[in-house]
Chain A
Amino acid sequence: SQQGEEDPQALSIQEGENATMNCSYKTSINNLQWYRQNSGRGLVHLILIRSNEREKHSGRLRVTLDTSKKSSSLLITASRAADTASYFCAALRRIGNEKLTFGTGTRLTIIP
């Protein structure tokens, strides 16, 4: 699989439930970032977790990082219809002038 593979590819849940998305990567990283993309729109930065961090919270978002397994998860609690979007993880290998390597994304649908 390629660096930055998310699973599941698609997820549908009822409003109010929690949504968990996973991401795997292959190489060592400096940090991992999660982005949201509404259909056909731009990428909105959600949260960044550094390689020396294991868990991070921001509002209803919780991100974990397991560098031994080269994986990360994004949890959205108490989902809302407005959370419907595609979610991508993106790995940054080093700080500075370095490209982000994006995963294939999870398409999340929140059912009202």
Chain B
Amino acid sequence: EPEVTQTPSHQVTQMGQEVILRCVPISNHLYFYWYRQILGQKVEFLVSFYNNEISEKSEIFDDQFSVERPDGSNFTLKIRSTKLEDSAMYFCASQGEETQYFGPGTRLLVL
């Protein structure tokens, strides 16, 4: 069964550094998403992406964040200058018809 994959599974970085989180969505899906979950809290929407552009973003998704689909398979989330409060689990999701399928997540720790 096709699945969403994410790399790396864990990332530790210093505050102020740039990080790129990578996702490979399910191949025939057209809608892509990033969510995050701070430890012990609910899953929060960050951004949605369709037809090679952002279609919606949340207040969390400020100028430090960007997304890209550099080729036909990868979908990336970049945080330009990480802050301590960016520490969280980041989930990529892709959607076919109705259901959003989530990747296993990248646990980001900013020190």
User: Is B104 touching A41 in the complex (CB atoms < 8 A)?
Assistant: yes
Q: How large is the interface on A (under 10, 10 to 19, 20 to 34, 35 or more residues)?
A: 20 to 34
Task: Convert A50-84 into 0s and 1s, putting 1 for each residue whose CB lies closer than 8 angstroms to a CB of B.
Answer: 10000000000000000000000000000000000
User: Is A95 touching B102 in the complex (CB atoms < 8 A)?
Assistant: no
Partner-binding segment picked from B11-19, B65-73, B75-83, B93-101: B93-101
Which of these, B42, B99, B103, contacts A48 with CB under 8 Å?
Answer: B99
Q: How large is the interface on B (under 10, 10 to 19, 20 to 34, 35 or more residues)?
A: 20 to 34
| A101 partner residues in chain B, CB cutoff 8 A | 45
Known: A102-B44, A103-B42. A95 touches B98 (CB 8 A): yes
In the complex, what's the smallest C-beta–C-beta distance from A50 to chain B, in angstroms? Answer: 8
* Residue A112, interface by CB 8 Å: no
A44 CA to B31 CA, complexed, in Å: 18
| A102 partner residues in chain B, CB cutoff 8 A | 35, 42-44
Most buried by B among A33, A43, A92: A43
| B91 partner residues in chain A, CB cutoff 8 A | 42-43
Which of these, B44, B99, B103, contacts A33 with CB under 8 Å?
Answer: B99
Known: A43-B43, A88-B42. A99 touches B98 (CB 8 A): no
Output the nearest chain B residue to A101 by Cβ-Cβ distance: B45
Q: Quick one: which of A2-54 are within 8 Å of B by CB?
A: 4, 31, 33, 35, 40-45, 48, 50
Q: A residues engaging B (CB < 8 A)?
A: 4, 31, 33, 35, 40-45, 48, 50, 88, 90, 92, 95-105
Q: B residues engaging A (CB < 8 A)?
A: 31, 33, 35, 42-45, 48, 50, 55-56, 58, 89, 91, 93, 97-105, 107
11 more A-B residue pairs beyond the given contacts A45-B99, A88-B42, with a C-beta to C-beta distance below 8 A = A40-B89, A41-B104, A43-B102, A44-B102, A90-B100, A96-B31, A97-B55, A98-B48, A102-B43, A102-B44, A104-B42
**3 nearest A-B residue pairs (beta carbon):** A42-B104, A99-B45, A43-B102
